[in-house]
Structure 1
Amino acid sequence: KIKKEWLEVLEETKKNKVLNEKCKKEEEAPRSPVVPDISTNPFKDEEMPDEEEEVDLSLEWIQELPEDLDVCIAQRNFEGAVDLLNKLNSYLEDKPLTHSVKELKAKVDERVRQLTDVLVFELSPDRSLRGGPKATRRAVSQLVRLGQSTKACELFLKNRAAAVHTAIRQLRIEGATLLYIHKLCNVFFTSLLETAKEFEMDFAGNNGCYSAFIVWSRTALKMFVDAFSKQVFDSKESLSTAAECVKVAKEHCKQLSEIGLDLTFILHALLVKDIKAALHSYKDIIIEATKHRNSEEMWRKMNLMTPEALGKLKEEMKNCGVSNFDHYTGDDCWVNLSYTIVAFTKQTMAFLEEALKLYFPELHMVLLESLMEIILVAVQHVDYSLR
């Protein structure tokens, strides 16, 4: 009996062991991946494409648009042509770009190129110089409406540059230099002022074009200064004449401030080289004249012989800024100064007066150095005479 029970327990143990090993193997075995169900039906999830939206181009005005544009261009009805283009753009603004729309746009773009070419020709100098800045307004405004502000700005400024150049060349150089400079300044600065006003009107909504106008203004001013310097400085006019001419140019240039355009500093920069040369040249003339008088100096008082002559000299010295000249006069018609000293004073004070008319900060050191050189020549002569 005991043996039988033992055999039963043994048999049960074997069965449990086999069962445990089988479960362990099943746990260690790799699980096969889950293969998703892939539909073999190509039409199951595919979205059907939307049908192409049609754009109604059958309207009569659209059908006739290319021909109407041709007529407008031929009849120089630029405003009408641009109106038609704007109308088409507004109509197609929210429409899809279908094949038929592309074909229509290709036809229209060809007309736009033709219209642009005609407007560009209208702005050529040969076409619109005589009418002044206003003569360009029509073509410029239509180019701006076509979205070609940059090209319109460039052509407008080229046109005005040619007009200013022609106006300057047509001025006759006759009579006194100062008279010519008055005419030159009047022609140039009036043209510049009119151009600025027209530019502001034509390109009011295009702030990016204003920098181009400033660059153009500087170039135009350079053209003016070339003509100015050729007549004033290259012809070796006196310093007093040069000073008056520069004064006139400055006054005209200041008129541009009424439209907020200040080109005075550019005018100074362009003139500074010629003015420096003029100051140096006149300084050398004074020094040479002073040396010549010094060589003949006798250190004798002046006898003007008549009260009229003395009165005239007093007036001249007063005009030079020497208000206390009476302190240097003696009995009768005598002056307690030598002729050399009086002549040197008159010439130096005249130089200073004219130089101050030409003065601006860039010339400060040039003027001081010139005065020092002139005075040094006189002081050296006095020092030499006292030895």
Structure 2
Amino acid sequence: KIKKEWLDILEETKKNKILIEKCKKEDPSCPLVAADVSGNTALKEKKTVKEEKEEKINLSLDWIQELPDNLDVCIAQRNFEGAVDLLAKLNSYLQDKPSTYAVQELRAKVDPRVKHLIDVLVFELSPNRSLRGGPKATRRAVSQLVRLGQSTKACGLFLQNRATAVQTAIRQLRIEGATLLYVHKLCNVFFTSLLETAKEFEMDFTGDNGCYSAFIVWSCSALKMFVDAFSKQVFDSKENLSTAAECVKVAKEHCKHMSEIGLDLTFILHAFLAKDLKAVLQSNKDIIIEATKHRNSEEMWRKMNLMTPEALGKLREELQNCGVRNFDQYIGEDCWVNISYTILAFTKQIMFFLEEALKLYFPELHMVLLENLIEIILVAVQHVDYSLR
């Protein structure tokens, strides 16, 4: 409407100018009254429009006059929802209204209080204030920061708070008893916290897609924190392959459960564990090779006499559990077995190694596992080859 009025004034001014120029050509003494009249008209119109704008914005309402004081009261009483409601009401009222001097003056009173409110909400999200209640304890402050247009800040503070909470929970775990028992506790604490954090995050930041990438980054860093604690207890303490395999299996199973909410961190867990798992396989391979060489040095190539059917049955069961299904073809008469002790011990050891190593298996370890198996088998083959010469 205002634009149309100005265009009309401009058009009228152009017409007056043309008339004046025409008048000058016909009569040089023609007065410039028309131009003055036009100018005065424009000023009057401009003044009228400005006055209309001022009149449209009524800031004398009681709730507007009392708003700064009410904000102070709400913040002091920790009524954050009430404070944000007042601000939302004001913003809605001033929406699509021009920024007059009176509005600017009101904003100058309100803005410092908004900043103070944000500072208080940020303090509410500090770890010392909201660690005990879990992720839900942060919901109130986070939701109000989001309403104030501070989603990015709320997201960062929420994730920082949860990182501290997870770290504290891991540190408070007592390292006692068997390693596998500790790993069960560690996995329960960490992955339960991660699941709760993911659900709370989705609830607080629904529709804010920009924050989800921050959550993924945070999840990776939190998982690294978990792996550090896990590796320190499982790998640094030089646990045997069987224990290490069981511990890794437990961690992988817990990690897979996260995919139920759309958060698949399994491949990241593999990447973090790869170095330690390679070292474990290498270490156990060296132990097997050393033991094999020692037995080979005492090899007499004599078949075994197990003496009793019970002992023979027990050996058959052991080998079947290891995956050897054709053992019966090596059984002779009267509990004799046509295999030397060295070959039997090597078979049981390498099958056990393979079974436990497969619990650790993931694609990145494929070649490492194959290379270790080849090295172990070559030691036995070379001994047989040497004996046949």
Same fold flag (TM > 0.5) = yes
Q: Does 2:148 correspond to 1:146? A: yes
The reply to whether residue 174 of structure 1 matches residue 156 of structure 2 is no
**Who is 2:189 aligned against?**
187
**1:109-155 deviation digits (Å, cap 9, x = unpaired):** 10000000000000000000000000000000000000110100000
Equivalent position to 2:73, from 66, 71, 74: 71
1:334 deviation in Å? 1.5
Task: Could you list the structure 1 runs, at least 4 aligned residues long, displaced by more than 3 angstroms after superposition.
Answer: 35-42
Q: Distance in 1 between matches of 2:47 and 2:88?
A: 30
Match of 2:47 in 1: 50
In structure 2, which of residues 138, 143, 149 is the aligned counterpart of residue 136 of structure 1?
Answer: 138
Q: Distance in 1 between matches of 2:366 and 2:38?
A: 88
Q: How does 1:244-263 map to 2 (within 5 A)?
A: 244-263=246-265
Q: Normalized against structure 1, the TM-score is what?
A: 0.89
Length-normalised TM-score, structure 2: 0.88
Local SS of the residue matching 1:100: helix
Structure 2 counterpart of 1:203, one-letter code = F
Per-residue deviation at 1:306?
Answer: 2.5
Q: In structure 1, how many angstroms separate the alpha carbons of the residues matched to 2:182 and 2:330?
A: 43
Deviation at 1:304, TM superposition (A): 2.0
Q: What aligned pairs does 1:1-387 form with structure 2 within 5 A after superposition?
A: 37=24, 43-46=36-39, 47-48=42-43, 49-51=46-48, 52=50, 53-54=53-54, 55-387=57-389
Q: Return 5+ residue gaps in structure 1 as ranges.
A: 1-34
Shift of 1:44: 4.3
Structure 1 counterpart of 2:36, which letter? F
1:328-372 Cα shifts (integer Å, max 9, x gaps): 121112211111100000000000101111111111100111110
CA displacement 1:218-259 (0-9 Å, x = unmatched) = 111111111111111111111111111111111111111221
Runs of 5+ unmatched residues, structure 2: 1-20, 26-30
* TM superposition shift of 1:40: 5.6
Inter-partner Cα distance in structure 1 for 2:139 and 2:269: 29
Counterpart of 1:43, as a letter, is: D
In structure 2, what is the Cα distance between the partners aligned to 1:263 and 1:45? 74
- Matched AA of 1:289: A
CA distance in 2, matches of 1:333, 1:43: 130
Shift in Å, 1:290: 0.5
Q: Which residue of 2 aligns with 1:31?
A: none
> SS state of the match for residue 95, structure 1?
coil
1:280 is paired with a residue whose SS is helix
For this pair of structures, how many residues does the alignment match?
353
Query: 1 CA distance for matches of 2:210 and 2:143?
Result: 16
Which residue identity is paired with 1:249?
A: A
CA distance in 2, matches of 1:305, 1:270: 50
C-alpha distance in 2 between matches for 1:356 and 1:62: 71
Taking the aligned partners of 1:94 and 1:198, their CA distance within structure 2 comes to 35
Cα separation, 2, equivalents of 1:381 and 1:181: 40
CA deviation string 1:252-311 (max 9, x = no partner): 111112211111111111111111111111111111110111111111111222222222
Q: Distance in 2 between matches of 1:198 and 1:386?
A: 69
CA distance in 2: counterparts of 1:332 and 1:233, whole angstroms: 46
Which has the higher Rg, Structure 1 or Structure 2? 1
Amino acid at match of 1:94: D
Q: Give the letter for the 1:58 counterpart.
A: S
Q: Which amino acid in structure 1 is aligned with residue 304 of structure 2?
A: M
- The 3-state SS of whatever aligns with 1:262 is coil
Distance 1:69 1:181 in 2: 50
Q: How many angstroms apart in 1 are the aligned matches of 2:282 and 2:190? A: 29
Q: Percent same amino acid at aligned positions?
A: 81
- In the alignment, the residues of structure 1 paired with residue 345 and residue 275 of structure 2 have an alpha-carbon distance, to the nearest angstrom, of 29
Instruction: Tell me whether 329-338 or 181-190 shows the greater mean CA deviation.
Output: 329-338
Matched residues in 2 for 1:288 and 1:154: separation?
53
Q: Whole-Å Cα distance in 2 between the matches of residues 262 and 96 of structure 1?
A: 50
How much does 1:90 deviate?
A: 0.7
